[in-house]
Amino acid sequence: MPSAMSSHLSAPPANRTKRIAPPAYEALAEALAVIFWNKGPFERFVRGELHDHPELLAKIDFSLTKRIVAGAVAVMLQSDARYQQTAIQIMVDIADMQRFTNLASQPDADRLLTDANRAVSDLRVLTAKYRRNIDEQQLLDARLRADSLRTASEHQFVKHLASLRDEFTDMHTSTNPHVRGKQFEGVLYRLFEFHDLQPRLAYDIAHEQIDGSFTFDTDTFLLEAKWWNAPIERDAADIFSRKIERKGRNTLGLFVAVNGFTSGFTSMEHTNGAPFITIDGGDLLHVLDSRISLEDILRRKVRYLNDTGRNYLPITAILS
């Protein structure tokens, strides 16, 4: 073998106990030399398998015979434990080959295919025990990719919430209640949209105006959103209750009031239990600051509603 391709072999292996058995490398060199007849597809295959290791490709002289190049590849992979995973992957890729189209198109195809099938079969036997290594690595890589995507998605989600929080905070300086109310409905819509709650913007039906709606679990929620300068009084609860009671059986309500509710509102009795839950400005800030998820706060408040028939559960009771 030319010295130019073997001068790199002085580096000792990092860990001999984990090295692939030498016969497997010999089988790799033999199989790699006979699975292609033409140098073009042979070179493309080698370059594709070693694309993550340009330092190895730089040492290969593809003008030499396929057998010399195949031997050099096997020696380079064997010389350094860092390349063990790459070697296993190449072995498995070749061992999985069922067809050799480049050989099949040659005049001496029968003989060439016999040699290729024999070499690949020998490699398949010798590398079967290493396949688990590849499977485990692929599983680990998939988990790492999933974790990375999940982390990026979570960061982006928190960024969206922070943007809504800034917008919500800036709205406190608004001097136009009508404009501020519309902006507030828009913030709530985007908050529900971020959480895949299928929100609907404000709409009108006969003799009735609805601030919006969304779905959560198996229920549809009507939205009542108020940004008044004072806490919401009891009569607003009566009006909202009647809106909900005229809708379908699986309809509940969410009353959002930035400045909260009076004791008369939160202590009122309903004949059949309160048909809605409540969120105030403090609840909303906890959600926008990512201190509690919207799903968690909704689920806890609905559970409290079903357990007690009461529409008000303060955030302090949820977090305590």
User: Is 305 inside a domain boundary?
Assistant: yes
Does one domain contain both 38 and 126?
yes
User: Is 216 inside a domain boundary?
Assistant: yes
Question: pLDDT averaged over the chain?
Answer: 86
Q: What is the DSSP letter of 210?
A: E
What does the pLDDT look like over 200-229, one tens digit per residue?
Answer: 988 877 678 888 999 998 889 999 999 999
**Separation between Cα atoms, residue 279 and residue 259, nearest integer Å:** 10
Does one domain contain both 106 and 179?
no
What does the pLDDT look like over 51-104, one tens digit per residue?
Answer: 999 999 999 999 999 999 999 999 999 999 889 889 988 998 999 999 999 999
**Separation between Cα atoms, residue 68 and residue 134, nearest integer Å:** 27
| Structural domain containing residue 235 | 174-319
Does one domain contain both 92 and 189?
no
| Residue 239 pLDDT exceeds 60 | yes
User: Is 63 inside a domain boundary?
Assistant: yes
Q: What are phi and psi of 40, to 5 degrees?
A: -60, -60
Q: Give the closest residue to 302 by CA, choosing from 252, 265, 261.
A: 252
Q: Give the closest residue to 28 by CA, choosing from 88, 84, 85.
A: 88
Share of the chain above pLDDT 90, in %: 54
Does one domain contain both 56 and 180?
no
Interior angle at CA 254, CA 253 and CA 255, nearest 5: 115
pLDDT for 14 equals 38
User: Is 163 inside a domain boundary?
Assistant: no
Does one domain contain both 73 and 190?
no
Does one domain contain both 229 and 288?
yes
Token pair of 221, please?
């929620």
**Separation between Cα atoms, residue 319 and residue 91, nearest integer Å:** 55
**Separation between Cα atoms, residue 320 and residue 318, nearest integer Å:** 6
Does one domain contain both 19 and 94?
yes
Out of 137, 166, 182, a domain closes at: 137
pLDDT for 145 equals 74
User: Is 211 inside a domain boundary?
Assistant: yes
**Separation between Cα atoms, residue 12 and residue 81, nearest integer Å:** 9
Does one domain contain both 192 and 117?
no
Q: What is the CATH number of the domain that holds 228?
A: 3.40.1350.10
User: Is 169 inside a domain boundary?
Assistant: no
Does one domain contain both 244 and 122?
no
Out of 90, 109, 137, a domain closes at: 137
Q: Considering its fold, how many domains does the chain have in total?
A: 2
User: Is 15 inside a domain boundary?
Assistant: yes
Does one domain contain both 182 and 125?
no
Q: What is the mean pLDDT of residues 249-270?
A: 88
pTM over 0.75: no
Partners of 253 in beta bridges? 222, 276
The residue with tokens 């201190």 is 291
Query: Is residue 259 within 8 Å of 231, Cβ to Cβ?
Result: yes
Query: Is residue 261 within 8 Å of 290, Cβ to Cβ?
Result: no
Partners of 312 in beta bridges? none
Other CB atoms within a 10 A radius of the CB of residue 217 amount to 12
User: Is 60 inside a domain boundary?
Assistant: yes
pLDDT for 58 equals 95
Out of 92, 116, 137, a domain closes at: 137
Does one domain contain both 199 and 264?
yes
